Amino acid sequence: MSQQTVSKSDIVRVVIVEDYKLTRVGLRYALNEIENINVIAEAQNAESGLEIIKNERPDVVLMDLGLPGINGLEATMQIKAMCPDTKVIILTSHDREEEVIASLGAGASGYCLKDIDPVTLSNVIKNVSKGACWIDSNVAHLALKLFPKPECTEIMPATVSNDVKTRLTEREQEVLKLLVQGKSNTQIAQELIVSVHTAKAHVCSILQKLCVDDRVQAAVKAIKEGIVSV
């Protein structure tokens, strides 16, 4: 699909780090057919990928976990330290609990399994580039492990969630529900008919009240504690 009429600022620049050539070529071909996405480079290992990312500063990196040499987790941490604004989406066949949790802990904004539909993947890339988080529905329940159950069994989960709900304003609860759906600040602003600045302020307030560091943790905690329903 031609991107000649699309503003450069709207195009999401993507780097693929994947050791299987056939997978890289297939991803590049499929994604470059999608409007507003441009695969600018690819690498077969983390070492060469990190060098490319350092020079190109892409918007999004599609990162395999099982790479030779430096693995995908270590590479993700290095990317976030080197290019904080670059978003990392893990694209892997691994669906084990430890990999899901470790990937999110390393700073990944998305976790996709390799059987994902290309159109869905393109939407994930676009949304993640705007600040959203996305976890494949087949492994989303594993992300709940990020928040272990309280040691005190006398406090019921409903009490915890109700306490959080009382701290959140009605508008913040609306924003949190959209955040759980993977909406970016821009999409939240459009949905609630407010400015992007206002939407961002609500998200920051929510993170503080939920005592979490980022949107992924906020979404996971909101689901686990029943603060919002999905």
Render pLDDT for 56-93 as a digit per residue (tens, 0 to 9).
Answer: 999 999 999 989 888 898 899 999 999 999 999 999 98
Beta bridge partners of 12: 37
Taking each helix axis from N to C end, the angle separating 196-210 and 185-192, rounded to the nearest 10 degrees, works out to 110
In the chain, CATH 3.40.50.2300 sits at 8-144
53, 89, 199, 221 from 172: Cα distances, Å: 36, 27, 9, 15
- 1 or 43, greater pLDDT: 43
- Of 46, 216, 44, whose CA–CA distance to 127 is shortest? 216
Distance CA 70, CA 42 (A): 16
The CATH topology of domain 148-224 is Arc Repressor Mutant, subunit A (1.10.10)
Q: What angle do CA 63, 116, 99 make, to 5 degrees?
A: 45
42, 102, 110, 148, 216 from 143: Cα distances, Å: 28, 10, 11, 10, 9
Q: What pLDDT shows up at residue 158?
A: 38
pLDDT digits (tens, 9 = 90+) for 110-128: 999 998 888 899 999 999 9
Q: What pLDDT shows up at residue 164?
A: 60
Average pLDDT of the chain is 82
The CATH topology of domain 8-144 is Rossmann fold (3.40.50)
> What is this structure's pTM?
0.63
In the chain, CATH 1.10.10.10 sits at 148-224
Residue 55 in tokens: 């020079």
- 37 or 185, greater pLDDT: 37
Taking each helix axis from N to C end, the angle separating 170-180 and 215-224, rounded to the nearest 10 degrees, works out to 100
% of the chain residues with pLDDT over 70: 83
CA 8, distance to chain mean position in Å, is: 23
